[in-house]
């Protein structure tokens, strides 16, 4: 294929492993980052340009120019240049100090060491010297230097664990898995040095959850997605080592693409001062005009009598021209009404305020010995001008510790406790837990109080078993067996971890997985399922499915997701069960629980074979890959049979209701984003004091478009 190397806009990226000469033809960015605004040469012009956007500074610059004209200046230019230079210098020193710390931070990051495979030898290189196409070795607890394609790791099947807190704030570990063909390279430096695969992928972008590419190696092509990428800013965890191929470096990494361009920020105080200075300047102009008119009238009636005694130039003898010159003279004389010292005062106050923030004991977190830190003195006063707070719910208002609380299976709910009279009993810490001693692989921390569900499992009710089999198979959790029988699950989300742990305690233990198989211990017996396809969850699909072949050779599709999505894809024969389950879901949501619906389907062998051919073609497409895969997933996820629903509890963090009450008293408006059902959202709203009983009316706006929302708002009383 003939490549256009001169194109300035990338349509697709070509990266060849271990071939710097080839990759340099594309002029890809190096791995140096820059967050500082200035350098030695640009500091003066850029900083002066920013400072002269303040009207007072611009005014005094104009004033200085006027004072250099002897016909209108009655004051020395020295009286203006000294305070102006003083103000500019003080602000410049503050800006330079802030930028110095940015340079220091950049230097610290750019000079971090990384092991790079160069000419068949692993060498220590600074991050800034890493190039696209290099193969890098990472070790446990190291930061990822650039956006890498995972090639191999110390874990079985090319797995590795990463922490993405710097990218998305999530502290739970996520799993990444290399292609089987590259995971076989292991840590053999000779094999890695001979690796000459070529990656063709999307151009640099800021989408953290998406990557589309194809690896071409040994006359074969392999689809690449986000699950095979390690992004800059992540930290390698619980993995001794891994190797990765640099795809994006430096400012073209997804982390830096999300940083945006450095903008000159002005606070509301700055804007207010600019407005005040404009009004003061307008007053000054009015005063100058009035005095100039007075001077013109006086010169015509009185001053003309003295012209013959004063050796004036001919031009200045004209009364109108004299008034014109007098106007500018008064602009100079009355310059003290423009408060240039106000800017100095504000800068000093900002500096002092930043120290008060650093010293504030109420902003000190004793558990981690972490004080507040004001990293800039530019925007401090904006903290007191906050009008709106936009917050996520999970992990921000809540603890992000999920607990399996209730479930509905085949139209029957489990999880509530009743006394001998059939009345529901409130569950407390003193309520006896279910005895899971029949299961040697149980999680001892798991608590459940309804013994009827265990009885249903022991009686081998088919739908109850299928329910927990689905929970044990349909997920992306990775098991880690530290000691004999001591299982630890590494889950990309706490929801999945809670559901797999529940299945584990009820006798369906997820024990191990490979890229092709999943092994469960079902009521003590090892059962291995062939994993044929994973239909990923995303924000559009709102569901996840897996296709497996059980030991009997039967093809099964298991799916879990939002009830509103899954119910539309059920077989018509499920209508009555769907109605009952919907009532249970609304009941769970009303208690503030997070809900999911579960469904399954038997697949025909011939239909599946044809579908797999189309899936293989779509998964290697470079254009519209997601849309093509989505259409195929939609095709096979039809006519499913409903199994039931789960309900997970995520408790509020300590102090959330009190904090929100204080913010409300400060007249701060709070918006919380959540993907929960309406009933769950309202329950959480009342729990955290966003919604209160003393509110006269709570309005529910359910429009899906801007026009629908506007119409609903207009119809509100």
Token pair 């044929």 in the structure block, residue: 532
CATH 2.70.150.10-classified regions of the chain: 130-258
Q: Kindly tell me if the per-residue pLDDT of 10 is higher than 90.
A: no
Q: Do the annotations mark residue 676 as ligand-binding?
A: yes
Q: Kindly tell me if the per-residue pLDDT of 8 is higher than 50.
A: no
Q: Are 543 and 645 in contact (CB under 8 A)?
A: no
Q: Which residue has the higher pLDDT, 131 or 314?
A: 131
Q: Kindly tell me if the per-residue pLDDT of 309 is higher than 70.
A: no
Q: Do the annotations mark residue 675 as ligand-binding?
A: yes
Give the pLDDT mean for 162-188: 86
What is the predicted pLDDT for the residue at 3?
36
Q: Are 182 and 151 in contact (CB under 8 A)?
A: yes
What is the predicted pLDDT for the residue at 2?
31
What is the predicted pLDDT for the residue at 693?
74
What is the predicted pLDDT for the residue at 150?
95
Give the pLDDT mean for 61-65: 82
Class of domain 399-476+497-506+530-652: alpha beta
Give the pLDDT mean for 526-544: 90
What is the predicted pLDDT for the residue at 4?
37
What is the predicted pLDDT for the residue at 312?
57
Which of 208, 151, 212, 213 lies closest to 185, judged by CA?
151
Q: Kindly tell me if the per-residue pLDDT of 270 is higher than 50.
A: yes
Q: Kindly tell me if the per-residue pLDDT of 74 is higher than 80.
A: no
Q: pLDDT digits over 97-116, tens only?
A: 888 988 998 999 999 999 99
Q: Kindly tell me if the per-residue pLDDT of 717 is higher than 70.
A: no
Give the pLDDT mean for 113-135: 92
Q: Are 242 and 159 in contact (CB under 8 A)?
A: no
Per-residue tokens: 241: 């080592």
Please give the angle made by the CA atoms of 243, 247 and 251, to the nearest 5 degrees. 120
Q: Which residue has the higher pLDDT, 300 or 141?
A: 141
Q: Hey, what CATH topology would domain 130-258 get?
A: 2.70.150
Q: Do the annotations mark residue 674 as ligand-binding?
A: yes
Task: Give bridge partners of residue 217 from the DSSP assignment.
Answer: 220
Per-residue tokens: 590: 């009303």
Q: Are 611 and 635 in contact (CB under 8 A)?
A: yes
Q: Are 16 and 1 in contact (CB under 8 A)?
A: no
What is the predicted pLDDT for the residue at 260?
65
Q: What are phi and psi of 491, to 5 degrees?
A: -110, 135
What is the predicted pLDDT for the residue at 308?
61
Q: Do the annotations mark residue 519 as ligand-binding?
A: no
Q: Kindly tell me if the per-residue pLDDT of 637 is higher than 90.
A: yes
Residue-averaged pLDDT of the chain: 86
Q: Are 632 and 619 in contact (CB under 8 A)?
A: no
Q: Are 427 and 449 in contact (CB under 8 A)?
A: yes
What is the predicted pLDDT for the residue at 484?
66
CATH 3.40.1110.10-classified regions of the chain: 399-476+497-506+530-652
392 is a catalytic site residue: yes
Give the pLDDT mean for 493-507: 92
Q: Do the annotations mark residue 392 as ligand-binding?
A: yes
What is the predicted pLDDT for the residue at 306?
66
Q: Kindly tell me if the per-residue pLDDT of 7 is higher than 50.
A: no
Q: Do the annotations mark residue 24 as ligand-binding?
A: no
Alpha carbon distance 366, 360 (integer Å): 12
Give the pLDDT mean for 61-68: 81
Give the pLDDT mean for 620-627: 82
Q: Do the annotations mark residue 476 as ligand-binding?
A: no
Alpha carbon distance 583, 591 (integer Å): 13
Task: Specify which of 46-60, 153-167, 478-492 reaches the highest per-range mean pLDDT.
Answer: 153-167
Q: Are 147 and 257 in contact (CB under 8 A)?
A: no
Give the pLDDT mean for 556-576: 93
Q: Do the annotations mark residue 537 as ligand-binding?
A: yes
Task: Specify which of 90-104, 500-514, 688-702 reaches the highest per-range mean pLDDT.
Answer: 500-514
Catalytic residue among 392, 435, 602, 604: 392
Q: Kindly tell me if the per-residue pLDDT of 1 is higher than 60.
A: no
Q: Are 22 and 16 in contact (CB under 8 A)?
A: yes
């Amino acid at each position: 294929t003939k490549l256009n190397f001169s194109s300035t806009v990338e349509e697709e990226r070509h990266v060849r492993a271990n071939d710097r000469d080839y990759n340099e033809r594309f002029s890809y960015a190096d791995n140096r980052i820059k967050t500082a605004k200035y350098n030695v040469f640009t500091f003066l012009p850029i900083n002066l340009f920013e400072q002269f956007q303040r009207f007072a500074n611009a005014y005094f610059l104009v004033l200085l120019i006027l004072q250099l004209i002897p016909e209108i200046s009655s004051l020395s230019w020295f009286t203006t240049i000294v305070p102006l230079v003083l103000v500019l210098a003080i602000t410049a020193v503050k800006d330079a100090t802030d930028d110095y710390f940015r340079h220091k931070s950049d230097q610290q990051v750019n000079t971090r060491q990384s092991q790079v495979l160069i000419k068949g030898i692993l060498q220590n290189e600074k991050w800034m010297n890493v190039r696209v196409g290099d193969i890098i070795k990472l070790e446990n607890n190291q930061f990822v230097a650039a956006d890498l394609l995972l090639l191999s790791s110390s874990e079985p099947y090319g797995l590795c664990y990463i922490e993405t807190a710097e990218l998305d704030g999530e502290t739970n570990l996520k799993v990444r898995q290399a292609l089987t063909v590259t995971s076989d390279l292991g840590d053999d430096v000779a094999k890695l040095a001979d690796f000459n695969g070529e990656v063709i992928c999307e151009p640099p972008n800021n989408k953290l959850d998406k990557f589309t590419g194809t690896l071409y190696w040994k006359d074969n092509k392999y689809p690449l997605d986000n699950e095979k990428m390690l992004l800059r800013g992540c930290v390698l965890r619980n993995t001794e080592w891994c190797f990765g191929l640099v795809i994006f470096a430096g400012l073209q990494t997804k982390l830096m693409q999300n940083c945006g361009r450095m903008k000159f920020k002005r606070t509301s105080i700055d804007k207010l001062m600019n407005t005040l200075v404009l009004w003061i300047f307008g007053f000054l102009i009015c005063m100058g005009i009035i005095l100039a008119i007075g001077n013109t009238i006086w010169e015509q009636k009185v001053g003309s009598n003295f012209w013959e005694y004063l050796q004036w130039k001919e031009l200045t003898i004209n009364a109108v021209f004299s008034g014109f010159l007098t106007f500018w003279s008064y602009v100079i004389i009355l310059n003290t009404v423009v408060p240039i010292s106000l800017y100095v005062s504000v800068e000093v106050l900002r500096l002092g305020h930043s120290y008060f923030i650093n010293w504030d004991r109420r902003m000190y977190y004793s558990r981690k010995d972490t004080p507040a830190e004001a990293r800039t003195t530019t925007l401090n006063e904006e903290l007191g001008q906050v009008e709106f707070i936009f917050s996520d719910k999970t992990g921000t208002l809540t603890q992000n510790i999920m607990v399996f609380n209730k479930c509905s299976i085949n139209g029957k709910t489990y999880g509530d406790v009743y006394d001998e009279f059939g009345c529901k009993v409130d569950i407390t810490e003193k309520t006896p837990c279910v005895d899971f001693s029949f299961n040697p692989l149980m999680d001892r921390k798991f608590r459940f109080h309804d013994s009827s569900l265990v009885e249903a499992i022991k009686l081998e009710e088919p739908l109850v078993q299928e329910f927990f089999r689905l929970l044990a198979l349909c997920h992306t959790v990775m098991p880690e067996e530290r000691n004999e029988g001591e299982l630890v699950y590494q889950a990309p989300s706490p929801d999945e971890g809670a559901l797999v742990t529940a299945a584990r305690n009820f006798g369906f233990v997820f024990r191990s997985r490979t890229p092709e198989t999943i092994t469960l211990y079902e009521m003590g017996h090892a059962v291995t399922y062939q994993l044929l396809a994973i239909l990923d969850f995303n924000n559009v699909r709102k569901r996840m499915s897996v296709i497996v072949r059980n030991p009997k050779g039967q093809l099964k599709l298991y799916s879990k997701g939002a009830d509103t999505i899954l119910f539309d894809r059920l077989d018509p024969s499920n209508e009555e069960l769907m109605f009952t389950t919907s009532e249970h879901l609304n009941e769970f949501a009303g208690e503030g629980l997070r809900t999911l619906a579960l469904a399954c389907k038997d697949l025909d062998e011939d239909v599946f074979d044809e579908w797999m051919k189309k899936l293989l073609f779509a998964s290697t497409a470079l254009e519209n890959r997601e849309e093509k895969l989505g259409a195929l997933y939609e095709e096979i996820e039809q006519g499913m049979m409903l199994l039931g629903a789960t309900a997970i509890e995520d408790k509020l963090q300590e102090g959330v209701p009190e904090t929100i009450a204080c913010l409300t008293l400060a007249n701060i408006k709070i918006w919380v984003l959540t993907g929960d059902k309406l009933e769950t959202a309202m329950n959480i709203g009342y729990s955290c004091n966003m919604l209160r009983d003393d509110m006269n009316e709570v309005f529910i706006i359910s429009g899906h478009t801007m026009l629908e929302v506007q119409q609903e708002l207009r119809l509100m009383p």
